[in-house]
Amino acid sequence: MKKAAVFGLALAGTAVARALVERGFTVVMSDDKLNDEHRALAHELNCAVVNLVDDVSIDEFLTAVEVLVPAPGVSPQHSVIMRALELGIAVRTEIDLAYEWEQARHGGPRPILAVTGTDGKTTTTMLVAALLRGAGYTVAEVGNTDVPFVSALNDDVDVFVAECSSFRLQFTQCFRSSSSVWLNIAPDHIDWHGTFDSYVSAKARMWKFATSNDVAIVPVDVALISDAVALSEARVVTFGDTHGDYYVADNMLMSPVGPIASVDSLWRTMPHDITNSLAACAVVLESGLARKEQLGATLSKFVSAPHRIELVGNFGGVDWFDDSKATSPHAALTAIRAFDSVVLIAGGKNKDLDLTELAIEPHRIHGVVAIGHDAPAIQAAFAGVCPVQIATSMAQAVELAAQMSNGRVPVLLSPACTSYDWYRNYNERGDDFQKCVKDFFETNSGVA
């Protein structure tokens, strides 16, 4: 009987442990912070659990193991992964196992489409899934979502759409998709990967095992992505604002088979919404699973996930937006570029990224409220660019932003940093921001 080790027992790790046991593996599990819930899971699955306290316990954990499956958040520099690689143990991710098992499915594998990129992955994954549902398919959104790929294999679905983070791609050994897109690239997760080159290399693994039957969709004029796809066997299709195989002309989303929909009819028309919509259309049309006539209705009624330049409301004549999901400078700059002038609330816990990128279009920044652990770095990034104030709570940030806005300029929470100083996750941060905005205006103006 094969033996597997699962390290990291949150959502993905738990799903992997269950899937491995279901498929006859002997499983040993562990976590940096073992708790009673983990031990209960081990008891339920009749698995061994090892508390990793030193090198001896790590070797015990890896004894006779053929494959180690780390949770997506476990860095490649973690001692467990490094020791497994030293011992010649295969290290794989949950999407890689899911792909292998799906290929062996009785009745044949179902189509797998994929999305990666520094920013816009979740929205574009949701768009691709929505377009497929509009074409009549039952779809599972898997991977870097609330549903690990391995958890969806037994579901009655027609198509999988996998959101592929660099974490999940890092240790793939066979994963591929018939139609996939790499949306963009900018420094991110350097604290996890160690270097930007390592981050790019992880992303590029999405096409490492591509065949000539697969299509890879890339943005025009992005050299790093073009260089990566050139090393694969995939057929290449491009998208862009004004040129490419998918582009915008005469206010229409255009494709190689003709116009898809008018820009004005889209669910939202910020610049990145348009390119994400083009990319999603390319993924589904190039997969052969949908026709262009089936896409327009879905593009008009699509609803994005929360905390992605989400309109909180208009208060005192000013729009307030929640972009808490923006945890890198590149993501925040994408949001900033949707405004001619904006009051920005930014900060949190930086990921070893260059925050000065936020200030490269100073004409758009009316003022900045810096928050969180790295508020001083945000303040430094905008020194000499615009007024900057530091807030010590989200409620104070909202108050200061309202003062800067003066009833004239939109306000945007787009932190460019993670939430792990004040909050458990970006959802909690965004929810608190929205609550503070509504509370502030209820208290101060009676507008809610």
Residue 445 is predicted with a pLDDT of 67
* Averaged pLDDT score across all residues of the chain: 95
Q: Which residues contact 359 (CB under 8 A, 6 or more apart)?
A: 365, 381, 382, 385
Residue 187 is predicted with a pLDDT of: 84
Predicted pLDDT at 194: 86
Q: Is the pLDDT of residue 447 over 60?
A: no
What size, in residues, is the chain? 448
Contact status, residue 185 vs residue 198, Cβ threshold 8 Å: no
pLDDT at 446 over 60: no
Nearest to 394 by CA among 348, 442, 352, 358: 348
Taking only the tens place, the pLDDT of each residue in 392-418 is 999 999 999 999 999 999 999 999 999
pLDDT, tens digit, 9 for 90 and up, residues 360-389: 999 999 999 999 999 999 999 999 999 999
**Helix count and strand count (H, E) for the chain:** 17, 20
- The architecture (CATH level 2) of 96-301 comes to 3-Layer(aba) Sandwich (3.40)
What is the reported pLDDT for 311?
A: 95
Looking at the predicted structure, is the pLDDT value of residue 328 above 50? yes
Query: pLDDT (tens digit, 9 = 90+) per residue, 243-284?
Result: 999 999 999 999 999 999 999 999 999 999 999 999 999 999
Matching CATH number, 3-91, of 3.40.50.720, 3.40.50.300, 3.40.50.2020, 3.30.2020.30 = 3.40.50.720
Q: Please give the average per-residue pLDDT across 272-301, as a whole number.
A: 97
End-to-end CA distance of the chain: 61
Alpha helices for 46-106 (secondary structure H)? 55-62, 79-86, 94-103
Residue 188 has what pLDDT? 84
Query: Domain extents for the chain?
Result: 3-91, 96-301, 310-443
- pTM for this model (two decimals): 0.88
Share of the chain above pLDDT 70, in %: 99
pLDDT at 383: 95
Q: Which residues contact 54 (CB under 8 A, 6 or more apart)?
A: none
What DSSP designation does 349 have? B
Mean pLDDT, rounded, for 192-219: 95
For residue 444, the model assigns a pLDDT of 87
- Taking the domain 310-443, which CATH number applies? 3.90.190.20
